[in-house]
Structures are given as structure tokens and as C-alpha cells.
A and B are shown apart, each in its own frame.
Chain A
Amino acid sequence: MNDMSQVPVTVLTGFLGAGKTTLLNRILTEQHGQKYAVIVNEFGEQGIDNDLVVDADEEVFEMNNGCICCTVRGDLIRILGGLMKRADKLDAIIVETTGLADPAPVAQTFFVDQDVSDRTKLDAIVTVADAVHLSSQLGEHHEAEEQIAFADVVLLNKIDLVDDKAVENVQTRIRKINPYAKIIKTNHCSAPLTEVLGLNAFSLDRVLEVEPDFLESDHDHEHDDDVTSLSFVSDTPLDMDKFQAWFGNLLQEKGQDILRSKGILNFEGRDDRYVFQGVHMLMDASPMGPWPAGKDRSSRVVFIGRNLESMNLEEGFEGCKVA
């Protein structure tokens, strides 16, 4: 697969009124000389200033492959396929989702559909969050949590409308759900576009940079279905067979609750770093070159999801260590 020929796709999520259209219009007006296609949904706000706007229906369908949570966006497969037949080359594609959309089917489309992944690549999921309303939205809507959980970048917008303490609180809340998303605080979505586009966040080599910003977790006031994250580190090498058995089984059985997973693995007897990342049950994994000489080899895994406490993740991970 030739990476150069893959058109990057940025997914914009966020609740209605958070500022998605503001960001979209900034991208379209400030990036001169770039050719973008924008895929919008039928409930989207009006006034997108671009000559290539495509209406989509956000049609999610379940793959007929026995994997119950493997849903994909059929309309994206159709539209991305059509856009790839254009005579003029696109620099990027931006998919705007409705406020209540679950980002998983979008991400899964890039894992599952061969034509889509041959010609396009998921660049990043960018979630625009409203500093005023995010806290209450997180309490009320699963979708808000999922949009934060899936984000590579969270644009925390409208911070001029709240005081510093409130900004701090909402940031803590975001961190708890997703410790490795980059949080950018803005007014009017005025973030530098280089921090929003061209991030290559879904490429496996970016997983090597995973340095989650962990908080001391306190579990006192969490609901069972709150989205949280857990991470584990091991300096002891892992047994490849044991890890594959545990992890495969985990995704098979608990994949519905595990929204995202990422990791760098140090397997006994292997010189290469093994890297993986997953969305629900789907996973991409590959050796990514040898460990840097003279540096510690440690395995790191991160899970974001619901009911993580009930999955005995720590025990399972510990059990993969070489005895």
C-alpha cells in the first residue's frame, strides 16, 4: 500500500453548538490552495463555505461477519469510493458527524473496508467540546463520553465564558475519560490548524508516542457505565502466546465495552517493538522496528471503555509476563 496515495480523513465530532461549523469554516477559508471535500450530515448547520460538500445520512450497518459490535458507516464507504473517482486530487476529506453520533462506526469503517483503507486513511478524530456545557452533557449522554473517549484532539472551546476553576474541572473530567487526547483550550475554535489537521493519529507508529497523562484515579463517585481509562506498564518481558490468548479473548468477549486500546509490547525473545491499536473488537498490530539501543524495554497498554474494573485487566496483563 502506497501511503502517499492515501487521502487523509479528519473526523469532526462534538455536540450541536459546540463550534464544529466554526472550526470547519476556519479550515476551509484559511488553508489556501488546498482542495477539500466536506461530508456533512442532514442535521448539520448551514453555511459551509466550500464547493465540494456532500450530504450523508450517517447510515450505520452491522457487518455480517458474526462480530456483534462491528458496525460501519455504509454511507462513508459509498461516498469515499465516489470521491476517489474524481479527476482532481483531494488534499483532505473532512467528515462532520451529528452531535449525537458514536464515532466508533466511523473509525471501524477504516479498519474493515479494504477499498476505503487502500485509498484513504483516518487522520484523526477531533472533538469540539463546549467548556460551558460539556460537564452536564457528559452526565446525560453516552455519545458525549464516546466522543471524548475516541478523540485524538479535544478542542475545549468557549473558555472565555467560564472561569479558570471551571476550565480546570472540565479538563480533569476529559483526562479521566481519555488520558492521551491532546486538549487545546480555545475561544471561537482559534487553534492552530496544524494541531488539528495532518496528525496521522491512527498510524501505528504514533502509538509509540503514547505517553498518557494519568491522574490519580478515585473511583468513589463513578457510575458503572462511565467511560474511564486504565493503563499498565511492565518492565518484565511478556510471553507472546499468553498475551495473544488473553488479549484476543478479551476483545472477543468485552470488545463492546472497550472503546479504544493501544499498546507497545516487549515480547520475550523478540528484538522488535510490537505495537497495536484497537477500536472495540477490531485491531491493527504490527512489529515497528527494534527497540532503541540502550533504552529500557517496557510494555505499556492503555484501555478506554466502560466497566473496565470488571474485566480483571491488571490480573490478565500480569499473567502475560514471562514467569
Chain B
Amino acid sequence: MSDREKFLKEKISSLVPKETELESRGEHFDFHAPVTCSVTTSHSIAVGFGDGKVRFFFEGEKPSTIDAHNGVVLSIATNGEYIFTGGDDGRFLKLSQNGDIVEIANFNSRWVDSVAAYKDIMVCSSGRNVYIWSGDQKKAKSLEHSSTVGGLAFDHTGKRLAVSSYGGVTVWERGERRWTSKRLVWKGSHSKVGFSPDGKYIVTSMQESELHGWRLRDKVDLAMRGYPAKIKSFAWVGDTPHLATSGDHQAICWPFDGKDGPLGREPVCVADCGKQISTFIEPLTGEKAIFVGFNDGSVLLSELDENKNPFVIRNPKGSDISAIAISPNRSHILIGDSDGNILWSTLWKNN
């Protein structure tokens, strides 16, 4: 090898990122279909794909595969034990971790866009309707909304169900005999929705690359703006807590402590990734730290502290991160992207 070639080789290898520790000790899978959603159950991590398959990842085992939908797995939820999925084949399914499939409903050419579950209550949305099955009921209770449902979320008690759509959120409350509702209004299209862990706030991500929130006590509006892209992912982090959000070159974390939450306060901005846009946020369970996935496939781990440097967990692989999940006892991490790549690894070095 000539000096020139040697020089070039060194130069090139200095351009190619080295594997991260997590990448070198983890297992790599290419499932050839976009990873669309994931959820952590009491025993495993369940992952939905663009070809209708659902895969279960158990700690220390090979993943198992279920042919669930005849199309994209659009949404996934768990009550801890079972998995509930909605698909673009119009089916709402209940899956057990040993591979049993029960079709709960079939809406044919109407997609099942969102699902949610709490103990023995299972919920899905198709078009403008939300369908709720409680206990052993065969027939669903149907709740109609004025426009297509964007997202569903239970609060921590399972008594309230937030349903986002155009123009705001409908909060349904389960009474002794029936569901009653109140409406939170804000113009525009609302998609993903979530309660704060204490149930005092509701937050939605919007079409306009912003978040909207309401303090439920008095319906005070909280507008969280300034994002260059749509917010595809948000999560609550820490005891305080902070709402960590994607849609910027970093993770934007809004403080929800105190009486007024983020009203008039600045967010904490961590895990800066230069020009890339964050697409997925997952808290490191029990810590004040988050995994942040970006549209180039890189993943950073950062504490919620602007003075600390983030760690590179996964190098860019080219396509956006669409799932990050931590296994039930925090021993493993799963990272998935829109090309169908999955990195499955022990989270810590010594286990």
C-alpha cells in the first residue's frame, strides 16, 4: 500500500463512525418493513411493522413473530398482559404473548387508527367513532365525535379517556352507568394526546408543528411553539415532571411542576444533534434522562440538564427512528427505524 493509499484509508476510516458500545454488544435485525409502533408489556417489548407483523422481544431470547394484520400495524397498546393493535386492514386485534390472536372488531376499509387499554377495558378508534369494550361485554359502546379521531389516552386511574380530533379534545369520564364528556377547544388538528402523570394536564401534538395543552382544573390553554417540524413523539420524564418532545434539532423539555406548569417558562433543551430533527423520545425509566431518536437514525442519551453532554447510543443509519423501548425490568433496550432495522441490546454493560 502506497503512502497515499494509506493516508486515504486513514482519512476515510476517520469519517466512518465507530460502533457504539451498545451497537457492538447488541443484536441487529433487518425485518424489511418499517417499524411503526412499540409498547412494553409486563414481560416483553411488542413491536408493530408495516407488513402487518407483530414481534415480541423477551429478555435473553430470540424474538417471536405473529402475522397479525394484512397491512400496516397502525397502533399498539397494552394493559400489561395483552397487546391490542389497530391496522389499515380495518381490524382491531387482541394478541397474547404466546401468539394467540383474537379479532375484536373488523371495520373493513376503515382503518383502526388508534388503540388504548386499561385493565379490562379496551378501546379503539375508526373514523369518528371510539369503541369501548369493558369486562366481558361482547358489544362495544360507541362514542361519536365531530371529526376523525387523532389519538386516544387513558389517565393513570383509567377513569378518564382523552380523545383528540379537529378543534380540540373530548375528555370522557366513566361514571357508574355511563360515560360523560367535556370538551377542550383549540382550533386546528390534534393528533397524539396524553395526560400528565398526575392527571392534571392534557397535551396534544398538532398539525401546525406545535403542542397544545390544557390545565384541566380551569381549562387554561398552554401553547408550546417554536418547532421546525411536527412533534411525532412526546413523553413524561422524571418526578417533577418534564414533558420531553421531539420535532426540533434536540429534545425540548417543558417543565410541568409548580402551580402553572410551563406557563411563561423556558423549556430545557438537551441532546442537540446539529441539523437533524428528533423523531422519538423515550424516558430512561426511573431516571431524569431520555433517549432521543433522530431522522437520520442516530440515538442520543441525555440527562435533563443543559450542562451535561449527551452520549451517542446508535450511529446514523439513514432512516428515522420510529421506536425506542425499554424492557420491563430495565435490562434491555430496543431501537427501531423506518427501514425495518432493529437494535436489541442489554442496556447496561454487565448484564
Chain A residues close to B by CB (< 8 Å): 53-55, 57, 59, 61-65, 72, 74-75, 77-79, 82-83, 85-88, 113-115
Tell me which of B186, B188, B338 contacts A61 (CB under 8 A): B188
> Known contacts A61-B166, A85-B36, A87-B32: does B147 contact A74 (CB below 8 Å)?
yes
Q: List 10 A-B contacts (CB under 8 A).
A: A61-B188, A63-B208, A64-B186, A64-B206, A72-B207, A86-B51, A86-B72, A87-B32, A114-B229, A114-B230
Q: Which residues of B contact A63 (CB under 8 A)?
A: 188, 207-208
Contact residues of B between 112 and 160, Cβ < 8 Å to A: 113, 127-128, 147-148, 150
Knowing A59-B147, A61-B147, A85-B34, say if A54 contacts B230 (CB, 8 Å). Answer: no
Which chain B residues border A65 with CB–CB below 8 Å?
A: 208
Residue of B nearest to A40 (CB): B109
Q: Which residues of B contact A88 (CB under 8 A)?
A: 51
Nearest CB on B from A287, distance (A)? 23
Number of interface residues of B (CB under 8 A): 34
Contacts of B109 in A (CB 8 A): 53-55
Residues of A within 8 A of B32 (CB): 87
Do A57 and B50 have beta carbons less than 8 Å apart? no
Interface residues of B (CB under 8 A from A): 32-34, 36, 49-51, 71-72, 74, 88, 109-111, 113, 127-128, 147-148, 150, 166-167, 186-189, 206-209, 229-230, 338, 340
Q: In the complex, A176→B187 CA distance in Å? A: 38
Complex Cα spacing A59 to B127, Å: 11
Q: Tell me the smallest distance from the CB of A6 to a CB of chain B, in Å.
A: 15
CB–CB A54/B166 < 8 A:
no
Task: Report how far A72 CA is from B49 CA in the complex, Å.
Answer: 28
| A71: min CB distance to chain B, Å | 11
Report yes or no: A55 in contact with B166, Cβ–Cβ below 8 A: no
A113 CA to B128 CA, complexed, in Å: 22
Smallest beta-carbon distance B206→chain A, Å: 7
With both chains docked as a complex, state the minimum distance between the C-beta of B186 and any C-beta of chain A, in angstroms.
Answer: 8
CA gap between A122 and B146 in the complex, in Å: 28
CB-based nearest A residue for B208: A64
Contact B207 A74 (CB under 8 A): yes
B109 CB, nearest partner CB in chain A, Å: 5
